[in-house]
Structure 1
Amino acid sequence: MDISINHYPLFMDTVYGHMQSQPMHTACVFQSRGIETAVHLSYQALNVKVSERTQLLLTLGYQGKSVALIYPSGLDFIVNFLACLSAGVIAVPLNVTRNAQQFERTINIFEDAKIQTILTTKDTQKNLIQQLSDIPTLSQPSFVWIDELQTTLSTSALPKIQPDHIAFIQYTSGSTSSPKGVMVSHENIVDNMKAIQNGCGHKQGLIAGGWLPQFHDMGLIGHMLHPIYMGGTYVFMPPMNFIQRPRRWLELISHYKIFCSASPNFGYEHCVKLISDKEDLSHIDLSCWKVALNGSEPVNADTMADFSKKFAQCGFNPQSFFPSYGMAEATLFISGGPKSSGVDVITLDKKLFAQGKIKQSKIGLEIVNCGAISPRFQIKIVDPVSLHECSCDQTGEIWISGKSVAQGYINNPEKTASDFNARIIPSDDYRYLRTGDMGFIHQGMLFVTGRIKELLIIRGRNHYPYDIERTCNNYEHSAGGSGAAVFTFEHNQQTKLAAIVEIKKVSLRDLEKNQLKSDIHELVSKHHEITFDKLMLVRPGVIPKTTSGKIKRSACNALLYDIKK
C-alpha cells in the first residue's frame, strides 16, 4: 500500500503508516565503528520497540510532562524519542558529556525545563550520578531514572495528540547567550518535514544521515526524523568517530549510498585538513551524495571549493553542495537550494556594505547564497530599530512567519513575547519571529550576513566577525578551520577590537610571535581597513566553542582577560 506523505497531520501517524506498509524495510542503521559493527533496524522492529516504550511512558503517567533524553549515539535515542512523540511526552534531548563546562549547561537546562525524570541507559545513569555528586555546591536533585531494562505489561490506548501540543524542547547552542529551550509542536515538525522535502527535492525511500549529534537540531530533524518521515533509512555513526577520522563520514556515505548528508562548515573543513592527499580513497564513491547540506554556522565558499577539488577523485559533484539557513526556533529548515544548484556567491561593495547598503561589485566582500526561501515561510528584512521593512538594497534583520515557527521559549515569557510576536510598522497582520540574524533578499534568494549581537561597529562602520576571522584563518601559519575569534571588549569606557588566533604548533615553536602578529595585523588592515587593539596567539583548540562548533564570543572575552592575567 502506498502511503501518501502529505495525508497525515502528525509525524507519528505517518511513521506508523510506514511501519504497516513496509515492515521489512530498513528504518535505521547505526555503525558504531566499521561496517562490520553496523546494526540494522527494520520498520517492524522499530514499531515493536517504540510501542513497548510508549506503553511504559503511558503507564508511568508521563503524558504531557517533560523528560530529559540523555543517550550516547545509538538506536536507544531514536526509539525513546519516537516513543515520547507517540505517548504525548515532551522530550528534552541533551548531550552526554564529561566536560565540566558542558555538564554545567546540562544542569542549567534541568533547572530551566524543570526536569525530574531522565530517560537514559544504565551505564550513562551511573556516570551522570557520579558527575552530579562531584558538584559540591549543587543541592542533589531527586531524579526518576528510566533505563533500557524497564518494561511494562500494561496496554493503553494511544492518546489523542493535537497539532499544537508541544512535541519536544530543543535547547539552543548558546553561542551568544545562555541556552534557551525552544518549544516545538507536533505541527511544527510536520510543516518543517514538508519544507525540507520540497527544498531538497527528497522523495520516498530517502537515505540520509551522517555523523551529526542526535540531540542537535540539524542531526535530530534533518538526519534522523526526516528520512523516517519519508519512509526511508537513517544511517549514522557517533560524532567522535568523524572527529577522530573524518574519512569515516565519506566511507559511510559511499557504502550506504546516502543521498543527503549535512554538516556545519567546519565538518567540510575537517575533511580537507585531516584527510591526507596520500590516503587511498579509491574505494570511496561520492556520486550518490546529491544533497551536501551546509548550515548551522556561517557558510564559507572557499571551504566548499577546497572540498570539491580534494574529493573530485571520489566522484563528488560540486553542484551537490546545498548552502542553507535554519534555526531551532523555526524547527530547522528555512531556506536552501534548489537541489543541484551548488554554491552561488554575490560580491558586494565593501564600503557601502559597512553602511548597511547592498550594491554588487566586481571586487569586494563575498557573501554565500543561502538558497531559495521555502514557500512555507513569509520572510521580511526589517530595520531592527525602527521596525520598518527595509528596501531591497538594504541589509536588515531577518523576520520569519509560518507554521514551522515554534511556540516560544519554555518558562521565558518575556523573551517569547519579544522574539516570537514581533510586528512590522505599519503592521501587515503577521506575527513574526525575530531571528537575530542580519541579511538581505536578492532575486528571491536569502543571503545571511551575521548575527546582530555579533555585529562590530568600529569607527562608525559595520563589520561582521566572520569576515575578519576568515582573513585570519587564511594566514599561512594559522591553524585554520574555525581557529580565529574576533570580538570587542571595553577599556577605559571605550570599545576596543580584539582577536584570538590559533596558530600551528610548529609555527608557535619556530617563529617569533611578534612577526606572526605583525603579519596578521597587516592582512586585516589590508582587507578590512581596521586594526586590532589586542591580538592574542594561542595553540590549536583553545578557542571555546559550542557543541555544534560555533565560537562562544562571550567566553572568548573572558579568555582574553585570563590570558592578560
Structure 2
Amino acid sequence: MTIDHSREPSTFAEVVGLQALRHADHPACFFLAGDGTETGRLSYGELDRASRSVAALVQEIASPGDRVLLLYPPGLDFIAAFFGCLYAGVVAVPAYPPKQNRHLLRLQAIVADADACAVLTTGDILGRVSRGLDEHPRLAGLAWRATDRGGLPQEDAFRPVPLTGDTLAFLQYTSGSTGQPKGVMVSHYNLLCNCDMICSQWNLSENDRIVSWLPAFHDMGLIGMILTAFYLGTSIVLMAPVSFIQRPILWLEAISRYRGTFTAAPNFGYELCAHKITDEAAASLDLSSLRVAANGSEPVRASTLAAFAERFAPAGFRPEAAAPCYGLAEATLLAAGHSGVPELRSADRAALERHELLEPADEASAAELVSCGPVADRTRMAIVHPDTREVCPDGTVGEIWLSGPSVALGYWRRPEVTAEVFQATLAGSGDGPFLRTGDLGFLNEGRLFVTGRIKDLILIRGRNLYPQDLELVSERSHPALLPGASAAFTVEIAGQERLVVVQEVARHTKDTGEAMASIRRAVFQEYDVSPYAVVLIRQSSLPKTSSGKIQRRAARAEFLEDQLTVVAQWREGEETSGSEQAEAAAGMGIPAAPAAGRPGGETGRSEAENGNGPAPAAIERWLTAEL
C-alpha cells in the first residue's frame, strides 16, 4: 500500500513535508498525561515547521552524515528532533535518557561507537546530566542543545540538503545481552519499505488511527507506530510507557476515546491488561473500533491471547483483531504478521528439542505455538540449518533467514560482524545475501512459527530445551511469581551443564520457600530436569533489553558474580528444612533442601496505589538495555 500523493516520497524526510502540503491542519500526533488528559498536539503543518527549526539548529552544530544523539522523555519534542535530523541529513541516534550515573556509562558506550558529535535533548535532562559530565569527558565534549526552551532558529533558516533513499537515516542500537552496543544502519529506503509493508500487511489507510504507549527510541514504537502513522497521513495518540505500566487501562481508554484502530505491544502488555484491569473497569471500555492489535517483540503466548480476548470481549474486542507478528531491528522492523483469528499449533515438546515437528501424543506432551502469520510483502524467508547452511526440509525447525528491501545496511563500523550476519549465503547454490536472524522457527503453509533463539537454547544431557518454556512453567507454578519475569540458563558444575532458574517474586511475599519448591517441582514434573539453583529476586530487577526481552546472559553473569538482588534462593546440596521443600524433593526423587533466603536490599517503590501495575522502576528495567 502506498500513500496517495501527487508524487511519492523518495526519502522519509519528505513524508512529513508532503503530508503538511496535503493537509496542514490535520492532527499528526496527540500526547496524553498519566491521567489521560491531552497535554499536547501537533498538526502536520506545525510538525513540519518545528522540524525545520530543529534542522536549522542542527546545521549550526553538525554536518550531513554526522551522528546526533537524541535524549528525550516521552513526548512530542522527540518527534520534531528526529525529523529535524532527517531534514538536515544527519544520522539520528535515539537513546534512553539517563536517570543514573550508570546510564551515563551506557550512553558513553553508544556515543563512542557512533562517534556522535552532538546531543539534542530537553532543558530538564540537560540540567540533570550536566552535573555528572565531569566524570565522562567523551560526553562533555559533545555539543549539547535543548530544543524545548525556545530560542530555536526560524524555520526559514533551514537549508535543504540533497538526500537519497540510500542515505543513512538513523542508527538503531540493538539491546544486546552483554558487551558493546551494535548500531543497526537504517536507510531512508528501509524506512519507506517497512512502513509500506506494515500498511499492506494489515490493510491500513489514512482512515485508521493509531494509539501507542511504546517508547519512541525503540523500533517498535518509532517505526511501527509513529513513522507508520505519518507515512499514512493519519493521527497517532501517544502516552508515556510508565503511564501505561502504572495504569494499564489508560491505553485501552485512549483506544476507546479516540476510536483507535491500530495498536501494538509486546505480549506482556496484553498480559498486564488481562490480569490487572477489573471486570468493572473493562465494562466502561469500547474497543469495537480496534481492527489490529499487533503482538510482538517477545514470544507470543496463546494463553495471553485467550485471556485478553475473553476479558475484553464484553468491551467489543474481537479475537480476530489480535495480530501476532515477528520482526527485528536488523530487518528495520516487520518481517511477518498475522491477521484474522490467531492460528495455533500443538507440537510435541520433546520433538521440538530435536528441532523436529511431531504431533503430541497427549496434552501433557504438547507445546502450543502461535503463528506470526505470513511473510511480509517483498520479503523472502528461508528456514536454514544454522550449521550446514542448507534449507531445512518441511517438518524441521531451523534458523530464520530473511532477504528483501527492509533488511538494514548492516552494523555501524563493524564489517566483520556485518558480513557474518547480513551477507549469509545458502550452501551449494550460493543464493543470497540473507540476514541471519539468530531466531529459530518453521514455516507451515507459508505461515511462520517462532520457537526460540539459537544462542539461548539450553543443552542438558543431550536435550535441547527452550528457556522460554522453562520460564513459563516456572512463573505459573506459584501465584507469588511474576509473569514475564524469569530467566532460565545453565552453568557448569563439576563438568556438567546444570539448570538455574531466576524468577522475580511479588513484593511482600512471605513464604518464599513454598514458591521455590513450586518452581523445582513444576520444572521437574514438566521436563524431567532438576534445577541446580532457584533464585527469587526483587520485582523489576531482572535484566531486560530495551524491547522487553529477557537478557538471559546478563542474568547468568549476575548470578555467577553474585550481583542479583536476591530475596531468597536455594542451591542443590544445602541442608533440608521446611515441609514445602521436602514435598518438592519427594516429587522429584532427590534429597530435599531448604529455601536459604537472604536480604536482597531495598524492595523498591511500592506498586501504584490503584493496584493496576508495578512501580515506575519496572518500566525502566524494560526500557533500558544492559550494555
TM-score strictly above 0.5: yes
**Cα distance change, pair 130–273 in 1 and its aligned pair in 2 (3 A):** farther
1:89 aligns with 2:90: yes
Q: Which residue of 2 aligns with 1:407?
A: 409
**Cα distance change, pair 281–518 in 1 and its aligned pair in 2 (3 A):** closer
Q: Which residue of 2 aligns with 1:393?
A: 395
Other structure's SS at 2:481 match: coil
Equivalent residues of 1:59, 1:156 under 8 A apart: no
C-alpha deviation, 1:101, in angstroms? 4.2
Q: Deviations over 1:336-375 (max 9, x none)?
A: 123xx13221111222211111123363111111111113
Structure 1 letter corresponding to 2:73: P
Equivalent residues of 1:208, 1:258 under 8 A apart: yes
CA distance in 2, matches of 1:501, 1:372: 34
C-alpha deviation, 1:551, in angstroms? 1.4
Which of 429, 438, 443 matches 1:441?
443
CA distance in 1, matches of 2:249, 2:476: 23
Q: Which residue of 2 aligns with 1:312?
A: 313
Which of 195, 198, 218 matches 1:196?
198
Stretch deviating more after TM superposition (124-133 or 178-187)? 124-133
Which of 174, 187, 192 matches 1:185?
187
C-alpha deviation, 1:109, in angstroms? 0.6
Q: Which residue of 1 aligns with 2:531?
A: 532
1:67 aligns with 2:59: no
Q: Which residue of 2 aligns with 1:37?
A: 38
Structure 1 residue runs without a partner (length 5+): none
1:128 aligns with 2:129: yes
CA distance in 1, matches of 2:503, 2:349: 24
**Cα distance change, pair 503–209 in 1 and its aligned pair in 2 (3 A):** same
Q: Which residue of 2 aligns with 1:486?
A: 488
CA distance in 2, matches of 1:547, 1:14: 27
Q: Which residue of 2 aligns with 1:166?
A: 168
Structure 2 residue runs without a partner (length 5+): 570-597, 599-627
CA distance in 2, matches of 1:410, 1:5: 35
C-alpha deviation, 1:301, in angstroms? 1.1
Q: Which residue of 2 aligns with 1:360?
A: 359
Structure 2 letter corresponding to 1:357: E
Q: Which residue of 2 aligns with 1:284?
A: 285
**Cα distance change, pair 240–224 in 1 and its aligned pair in 2 (3 A):** same
Q: How does 1:105-504 map to 2 (within 5 A)?
A: 105-133=106-134, 136=135, 141-148=140-147, 149-153=150-154, 155=157, 157-175=159-177, 178-277=180-279, 279-338=280-339, 341-361=340-360, 363=363, 364-504=366-506
Q: Which residue of 2 aligns with 1:541?
A: 540
Equivalent residues of 2:267, 2:299 under 8 A apart: yes
CA distance in 2, matches of 1:539, 1:391: 44
Stretch deviating more after TM superposition (116-125 or 547-556)? 547-556
Q: Which residue of 1 aligns with 2:603?
A: none
Other structure's SS at 1:309 match: helix
C-alpha deviation, 1:479, in angstroms? 2.4
CA distance in 2, matches of 1:33, 1:477: 29
C-alpha deviation, 1:156, in angstroms? 5.0
Other structure's SS at 1:268 match: helix
Q: Deviations over 1:298-356 (max 9, x none)?
A: 11111121111112222111211000000010110000123xx1322111122221111
Structure 2 letter corresponding to 1:111: A
Equivalent residues of 1:170, 1:328 under 8 A apart: yes
**Cα distance change, pair 156–46 in 1 and its aligned pair in 2 (3 A):** closer
Structure 2 letter corresponding to 1:459: R
- Over aligned residue pairs, what C-alpha RMSD do you find? 2.1
Structure 2 letter corresponding to 1:244: Q
C-alpha deviation, 1:139, in angstroms? 6.1
CA distance in 1, matches of 2:539, 2:129: 29
**Cα distance change, pair 213–197 in 1 and its aligned pair in 2 (3 A):** same
**Cα distance change, pair 193–6 in 1 and its aligned pair in 2 (3 A):** farther
Q: Which residue of 1 aligns with 2:522?
A: 523
Equivalent residues of 1:5, 1:230 under 8 A apart: no
C-alpha deviation, 1:272, in angstroms? 2.4
C-alpha deviation, 1:104, in angstroms? 2.6
Equivalent residues of 1:358, 1:393 under 8 A apart: yes
Q: Which residue of 1 aligns with 2:602?
A: none
Q: Which residue of 2 aligns with 1:55?
A: 56
**Cα distance change, pair 484–308 in 1 and its aligned pair in 2 (3 A):** same
CA distance in 1, matches of 2:216, 2:259: 21
CA distance in 1, matches of 2:219, 2:452: 20
**Cα distance change, pair 17–469 in 1 and its aligned pair in 2 (3 A):** same
C-alpha deviation, 1:517, in angstroms? 2.9
Structure 2 letter corresponding to 1:559: E
Other structure's SS at 1:305 match: helix
CA distance in 2, matches of 1:5, 1:137: 50
Q: Which residue of 1 aligns with 2:578?
A: none
CA distance in 1, matches of 2:537, 2:503: 6
CA distance in 1, matches of 2:288, 2:533: 46
Equivalent residues of 1:193, 1:229 under 8 A apart: yes
Other structure's SS at 1:454 match: coil
Aligned residues between the structures = 556
Structure 2 letter corresponding to 1:161: L
C-alpha deviation, 1:382, in angstroms? 0.8
C-alpha deviation, 1:50, in angstroms? 1.5
C-alpha deviation, 1:199, in angstroms? 0.8
**Cα distance change, pair 413–33 in 1 and its aligned pair in 2 (3 A):** same
**Cα distance change, pair 198–360 in 1 and its aligned pair in 2 (3 A):** farther
**Cα distance change, pair 67–523 in 1 and its aligned pair in 2 (3 A):** same
Stretch deviating more after TM superposition (240-249 or 12-21)? 12-21
C-alpha deviation, 1:52, in angstroms? 1.8
Structure 2 letter corresponding to 1:180: K
Equivalent residues of 2:184, 2:411 under 8 A apart: yes
Other structure's SS at 1:111 match: helix
CA distance in 1, matches of 2:346, 2:164: 47
